[in-house]
Amino acid sequence: MIPGGRRRRSAAAPVVLRALLAGALLGGALLIPAGAAIAQPAHPAARGASDDLVRAKEYWLDGYGIRTAWNTTRGKGVTIAIIDTGIDSSVAELRGAVVGGADFSGRGSADGQTPVGDGNEHGTMVASLAAGRGSGTNAGVIGAAPEASLLSISVGFGDAAGDSDQQIADAVTWAVDRGAKVINMSLTRNTLGWPPSWDTAFLDAAQHDVVVVAAAGNRGSGTEEVGAPATMPGVLAIGGVNSAGVASSQASAQGITIGVSAPSENLVGVVPGGKYVLWDGTSGATPIVAGIVALVRAAHPELDAANVIQRVLATAHDRGVAGPDDLYGYGTVDAAAAVSGTVASVSANPLGDLAEWVRVNRRATTTPTPVTTESEVAAPAPSAAAQPRDPVGVLLPSAVELSLVGLPLMVVLLMLFALGGLVVGAVVHFRSLRRTG
């Protein structure tokens, strides 16, 4: 799996995702994050300043209705699982936000809060955009759902395909079992398909009413088309737009499974150690939408996952194309409308039914039943009624028939034969007399 995104390096920030981006360009089934930082200092001001330039850079708070939605809810009571490189919960913006975690990479700490891998900043940046608390009044990075809780689940990006596939399946199952109502997956397998192990895990999420939000991936990281898990039925796939609301040419991929789009360029985030960076990628767009989903769930706890997704889709702003398209999905997300708008209910997930997909596409292969050859088949003995008659015997009376007909018939037959002989003899004698006469 790969993190689809780009990062420009600077002396002020650590190197990020070099090996992961190489894996992305190679394609295949490596798991990669779907966005990478542009490693520039996000602002020159000191942390905690009352008029923090970092907060001012979060243009999506007002442009996408998030700040307005906070008048109704800030996401309290909803848990978002971040399946990524792990979250550094010690940074100011994330203190108190992380309520649990686990490591499936075999490299981190048991609580999932030790960032792992070459691009270990990724999970912390993602978490800050989903549920960052800020670092003070109007200071620091604040997420779309700043009162939601987080689960930090670390996995190994760039691992061998089979290993990373199982890590993801296990991570999803773990998140569901621990009460997550939203799962953020800022990653891509970089393939349209996915392994059967994901069927089981994602079906479990669907059956437990969990909304899975996944990144579409980025052209700049080698992902031209949306890859799994964003191709899976029922998953809310997120495309990316620039600050003007136009589909990003580099920080987004294209595909018919995109649900909605959100900002994926010039995003400000927090990295381990508390530094701020700007970054591009649908890895950032995805937690913004995951946070909005948490706001909807907090405002409408009675809604199931299908109707939560329906609210996000139905209230998105169309980009000039009737219905969903392969660049924006249903349009750009609107948090205020999703939380407070009037939306008709649905009876099924508008993004598809994974169970039905599995039924059609994962048909069980039956074991062939051995068939004996003709020489091995013992024919059953036919009944007396079914016994065939002798083809010659059918012309002659059988003993049974003789016993039923009796001697009278035989006498008649003999008399007929004798009479015939007399007639023939008379005709011959008569003709001979005529010749001699």
Measured distance CA(87)–CA(123) in Å, rounded: 5
Give, for 67, the enclosing helix (H) or strand (E).
helix 66-69
Contact 264, 284 (CB under 8 A): yes
CA dihedral of 326, 330, 331, 333, whole degrees rounded to 10: -130
For the sheet containing 236-241, what is the strand order? Answer: 98-103, 149-154, 79-84, 182-185, 211-215, 236-241, 258-263
Q: Which residue from 268, 271, 274 is spatially nearest to 48, judged by alpha carbons?
A: 274
Contact 17, 123 (CB under 8 A): no
- Token readout for 94 is 């994330």
DSSP state letters, 77-90? T-EEEEEES---TT
Positions marked active-site: 84, 122, 283
Contact 339, 299 (CB under 8 A): yes
